[in-house]
Amino acid sequence: MQTLNILGISGSLRKDSFNSAALRAAQKLAQDEVKIEIADISQIPLYDQDIRDNAIPESVTTLAAKIMAADAILFSTPEYNYSISGVLKNTIDWLSRESPQPFAGKPAAVMSASMSLFGGARAQYDLRKIMIYMDVHFLNKPEVMIAQAHERFDGNGQLIDESTKKHLEKLIVALAEWTRHLKHEK
């Protein structure tokens, strides 16, 4: 079976981000036929049409190329004020103006980690709505919302909760199956 390349995008820039830690955990839990690379969105500037008119930042074109080359996308989004983070929305705003559209037709999954009891559920809903415009094909189930994330990860950002590991493994397997299904339909 051909290896699938999944690009992970964390909506948090924080060094000790639970969402970035969840992506690193996904890398470790992925089976041999799945490789997960984590994108860096930290160098993408605030969207400004004047900047874009002058020259598209290299950080944007590099990320767009990585998305185009990936077989699927795995988003990990924090929840800020009932929605996605500004940094993730900003990244999407830059990428939405790229041609060809890097997200068009891409299989994707979303997970979230939050210290709240809801685990970022509202942010996932908003991300799904936003990405409709880019023609992203989200996996519907399983849903992974890591609630009370500060209890699921240790002080070094390692996922220590076995139940969460199992849910994350199921998500990776389902995303791989969904990706192969969509590729087969083309």
- At 111, list the tokens: 């997970």
- pLDDT tens profile 101-126: 999 999 999 999 988 877 788 999 99
- pLDDT tens profile 54-96: 999 999 999 999 999 999 999 999 989 999 999 999 999 999 9
- Whether pLDDT at 98 is above 80: yes
Given a contact cutoff of 8 angstroms between Cβ atoms, the answer to whether 36 and 100 are in contact is no
CATH 3.40.50.360 fits 4-185, yes or no: yes
DSSP-derived secondary structure letter, 47: P
- At 174, list the tokens: 């389902």
> For residues 101 and 149, what is the distance between their CA atoms, to the nearest angstrom?
33
What is the phi/psi pair of residue 27, to 5°?
-55, -45
